[in-house]
Structures are given as structure tokens and as C-alpha cells.
Structure 1
Amino acid sequence: MSEHRELDNPFWSSLRTVHAGAALCAGGVLRYPPQYAPFLGVAEGSVHAASGLEALVAAGESVYLLGIAPHVPAHWRLEAFRPLAQMVCEEPIAIVDGPEAIELSAAHRADVLALTALVYPHYFRERTMELGRYFGIYEGGRLAAMIGERLGTDSAREMSAICTHPDFLGHGYARRLTAMLANDTLSRGKLPFLHVSHENPRALHLYERIGFRLRRDIAFWSLRRD
């Protein structure tokens, strides 16, 4: 697909643009600091990344790649997962009625970390919130649902950490937050996009119903340094 080709290699693209200030770089490899996200990227699959990987990935650490994987040393373990659905939204979404969403700050960090540890545990880290804006809905003093911005380029922004506490499922909070942030992103002249597992058909169908479309399936790997 020709439009927004930078989304074919989203980790690399993000680390070259909106998150260039946080990027760690060595030997043609870029990665997020571990306290932000366990993500790593290269410009193209032909890259021989041994020196960069050795410099940036600690022994026993696992990182993740999306879209493009480099040649890796024989003693590293590259595991392919099922491709993710990369979805985009090109038109404003109708917002359903519901509680007010607030912008989350460092003051809400403990609540955010507790919710993501419960329902979104794999990729959220202590400083992930610093990669973009995060919003949440509180109910009875508890963080009931949240959404945030993670990856991005000069022309697109990723919706991420879209999650709801199990005690508050069925209230439409995830839909309300997704519509709110997608519309705000569009109003800023950027394309909202997100990634969702095909093994989560409930979420996939939700995004389709509210106005996201499949842009492409995108390859996804874990890479471990033993």
C-alpha cells in the first residue's frame, strides 16, 4: 500500500521523527530506552545488525520488531508471531455519551501502571506515558479505562494502551476514548492508526464498527539475546 509508507516500518519511523530525542542508536539500529518501550527497528531487512544489537540489547533481554527485521547473529533468537492488523481512521467518529475523559499526567502514573499491569501487561513500561498524551475515564475514584499515543511520524499518530478495567466492561468507555482521540488526531492533520491482534476479534470488530479500516497486516517478531 503506497500511502503513509512510513507505517510499514513504524518503530524505525517513530524513532527517526517524533521520538528521535529518546532514540538509542548504534550500528544502523534504533531502539527505545527499556524504561519507555521494548521496541527496536532498522531501516531495511538487508541490514546486518550484529554490532548494533550487541551494543543496544542486554543479555537475557527481549525486544520486539514490527514490519521489518534485520539479519541477526546466530546466537540470537528471532521468533515470528502472527502478523498484527494495522488499522487507520480517515474520517471523524461519532462520540457516544459518557463520563468526561481527562488528560492523564504523572500524578496518575500509579493508576495507569496498575491498570496496564492488569489488562495490557506486555509492552507498557514505567515511562511509556512520556511518549505521548494519555487520557482516562475515572469512575468512583478508580481509573476505569484509558488510551494513549505511542508511536508516531510527522503525518500519523498511533492510538495505544486502549484498555478497560474488567469491572467497567460494557459501558462503551473504550469506544468513547478511541473516538475522542482519533478525532483530535485528525483535527491536528495527522492520521490515527493502531495495531491489534487477530487473536483479539472483539477489539478488531470494535475498531471496524466505529470507522477504522485495515491498512495492512504487518509482521511482528520478538528478538531475544541469550
Structure 2
Amino acid sequence: MLNNPVWAALSGPQACFAEAAGDAARYSPEIAPFGALRDPADPAGWRDLSTIADTVVLTGPSINPLAGWETTEVLAGVQMIGQSMTGVDDPDAVVLTESDVPEMLDLVARAQPGPFRKRTVDLGRYLGIRGSDGRLIAMAGERFRLPGWTEVSAVCTDPEFRGQGLGARLTLAVAAGILARGELPFLHTVHDNENAIRLYGRLGFEHSGDVVFSTFRNTAPS
């Protein structure tokens, strides 16, 4: 399941966010750029995918496109799981909602944590920390939700406030909410972000495997 997390999410707990066709599914483009195939080695899934997406990001250990698709970008990453960690609630963390999306998008533009769109907040619980002036300076939240697992995502801090442990605090606070539901947290980060990998290791996450985030473009005639 963790080898194909987006399929597990879109065919399971997050099916309500799916645009699906046969053996393929994707999130609404306003939510996330990710899609999934039941079996990336099955040509039928790629044909189904072509009916719902022109460009899509697929996630897994290794994905090679079949006929009608080409790879436009590949980002190597790692997956980490929190099977034995303990979350910690943070009294300074506030729940972020749809009304906070403009600020969240502004923070994402400055901090560059990865894909985050105007409806990503719909996927789960997002927490933030505000500065003394009320400005949103750090956030983290939930993205892919699988049976028994929820991904911690969009962990980011305004560059002016890095080095204060805000990202670690919010990661633990988001994990606390996941654990309280009886689920386990997991996350992804790019493979060369050694600082993040060390941080997540100190927080109790363990390396569970390598993944790639591959962007594919549909080249079949319309």
C-alpha cells in the first residue's frame, strides 16, 4: 500500500477527491497534481489515465511510462514512516481553514515545500504558527490518507524564521492528531535534503524506502 500511496488514497479514504477512470485516478487539479495507477505495468491503466489527465505526477518506487506517455521530470525522494514515534501537541499551533488559504499560498511561495494548491487544505488538518504580528510563519498538514496511514506534508517555515524548530514542532503536532485517530504518520522528502531527513529521523520517523515523483505528459493524439 505504501508503495502506491496515491492509489491507496484515491481508491480508499480519499475517493471523494478522485477523478477516476477504470484503473487510473487523479486528484482534482485544484487540490494536487498527483495521480495514480492500480498497476503501473498494465497498459490498460495508462489508457484509462489518458482519459482524465494530460499531465500528471505519479509516485512510487520506480515508474516507466507506457505507450502514449513521456516523462518530463523525475524527482528522487525517500519515504519515512512513524510506526514507533510519539506526537506532541503544540499550544501555539492554530488550525488553518479555507479562509487562511491566501496566507498559506503566500507562505508556500516563500518557503517552497512542494506542491500546494488552493484546495489542498481540503485533504486534512493543517496547523500553523503565527508571528507576533499575526503573520503566518510556519505550517504543516495532512495530504495523502490511506487505510491506517496519513501523510504529513507541506512542512514549511518562512525563511526569516528558520532555525527556531517551528517545522519540527508542527510535524509532531500533526503527527499527534494522526496518532490520536489510531492511524500512523508517514512522509516524503527529496533524497538530497539531508537536513530534513536527519530532522525527521530525530522526531522518530524511519526510512522505509526510496520513491520517485515522476511527471508524465500524454503524447497520444487528441
Report if TM-score (shorter chain) is over 0.5: yes
> What are the ranges of 5 or more consecutive residues in structure 1 without an aligned counterpart?
1-5
Question: Residue in 1 aligned with 2:94?
Answer: 102
Check conservation: 1:160, 1:194, Cα contact below 8 A.
Answer: yes
Aligned mates of 2:129, 2:192 — CA distance in 1: 26
Aligned residue number for residue 175 of structure 2: 182
Over residues 113-142 of structure 1, what are the superposed CA-to-partner deviations in whole Å (9 max), with x where a residue is unaligned? 111122226411111110111000000211
Post-superposition offset of 1:69? 3.6
- Report the secondary structure of 2:51's partner residue: helix
Kindly, what percent of the aligned residue pairs are identical?
37
Equivalent of residue 7 in structure 1, options 2, 7, 12: 2
Specify every segment of 5 or more residues in structure 2 that has no aligned partner in the other structure, as ranges.
none
Q: Mean Cα displacement is larger for which, 22-31 or 46-55?
A: 46-55
- The answer on 1:46 being equivalent to 2:31 is no
Superposed CA RMSD: 2.0
Shift of 1:177: 0.6
Which one of the candidate residues 16, 21, 45 is aligned to 1:21? 16
> Matched residue pairs, number?
216
Aligned counterpart in structure 1 of residue 74 of structure 2, from 74, 81, 88: 81
Q: What SS does the aligned partner of 2:66 have?
A: coil
Q: What does 1:59-74 align with in structure 2 at a 5 Å threshold?
A: 62-67=55-60, 69=63, 71-74=65-68
Residue 25 of structure 2 aligns with an amino acid whose one-letter code is L
Q: Report if the CA contact (8 A) 1:26-1:51 is conserved.
A: no
- Structure 2 length-normalised TM: 0.89
Where 1:195 maps in the other structure, the secondary structure is: strand
Q: Pick closer, same or farther for the CA change 1:153–1:94 going to 2, 3 Å.
A: closer
Q: Which residue in 2 is equivalent to 1:133?
A: 125
Q: Cα deviations across residues 91-129 of structure 1 (Å, max 9, x unaligned)?
A: 344749x76000001121110011112222641111111
- 2:205 corresponding residue in structure 1: 212
Equivalent residue runs for 1:151-190 within 5 Å: 151-190=144-183
Using structure 1 for the length normalisation, give the TM-score: 0.88
Residues 11, 151 of structure 1: 8 Å contact kept: yes
**Structure 2 CA distance for partners of 1:37 and 1:155, relative to 1, 3 Å:** same
